[in-house]
């Protein structure tokens, strides 16, 4: 550069793209979208591979989205609490081989009960066999 400072690391010759992304979030996001549009097959393969290698995380993300859409995820939930919630789903998938029945993450107080509604928070979660979870539907 004209001031004598290089915009990349001398030893590895790589540009520091993290600073660019912080300064130009719209351009960076558009570049990612453009790459995804041009490489749909590669993107779908990598997405599929991620889902297969991280089933617990993907299930946790889906549950979070569902809770947010139904207004059952409080705004005060921190990243640490979200990580705890994800651990329930990851643990349920990992313990699956121990159980003869499919395991599921259950809300102790249901999110959409007839008389009471719970929240999608770590202290309202438990891991149950799916038959016990379905039997619980009758009581609430």
pLDDT digits (tens, 9 = 90+) for 90-106: 999 989 888 888 999 99
Tell me what pLDDT residue 17 has: 63
Q: For residues 68 and 79, state if they share a domain.
A: yes
Give me the mean pLDDT over the 50-59 stretch.
93
Does residue 62 share a domain with residue 49? no
Task: Say yes or no to pLDDT of 130 above 70.
Answer: yes
**Same-domain pairing of 21 and 77:** no
Same domain, yes or no, for 47 and 62? no
Q: Which of 84, 65, 76, 69 is nearest to 123 (CA)?
A: 84
Same domain for 39 and 108, yes or no, is no
Q: Is residue 49 part of a domain?
A: yes
Q: Are residue 30 and residue 64 in the same domain, yes or no?
A: no
Residue 18 is predicted with a pLDDT of 65
pLDDT at 112: 84
Q: Is the pTM of the predicted complex or chain greater than 0.85?
A: no
Burial of 61 (0-12, 13-18, 19+ CB in 10 A): middle
105, 39: one domain: no
Supply 87's token pair: 């651990």
Full residue range of the structural domain in which residue 136 is found: 55-140
Q: Which of 7, 34, 53 is the last residue of a domain?
A: 53
Does 11 fall in a domain?
no
Total domains in the fold of the chain? 2
């Amino acid at each position: 550069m004209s001031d004598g400072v290089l915009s990349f690391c001398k030893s590895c010759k790589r540009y520091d793209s993290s600073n660019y992304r912080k300064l130009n979030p719209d351009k960076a996001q558009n570049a990612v979208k453009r790459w995804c549009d041009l490489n749909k097959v590669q993107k779908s393969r990598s997405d599929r591979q991620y889902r297969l290698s991280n089933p617990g995380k993907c299930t946790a993300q889906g549950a979070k989205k569902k809770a947010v859409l139904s207004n059952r995820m409080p705004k005060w939930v921190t990243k640490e609490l979200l990580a705890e919630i994800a651990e329930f789903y990851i643990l349920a998938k990992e313990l699956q081989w121990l159980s003869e029945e499919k395991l599921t993450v259950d809300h102790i107080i249901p999110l959409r009960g007839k008389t009471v509604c719970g929240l999608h928070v770590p202290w309202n979660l438990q891991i149950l066999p799916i038959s016990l979870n379905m039997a619980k539907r009758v009581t609430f």
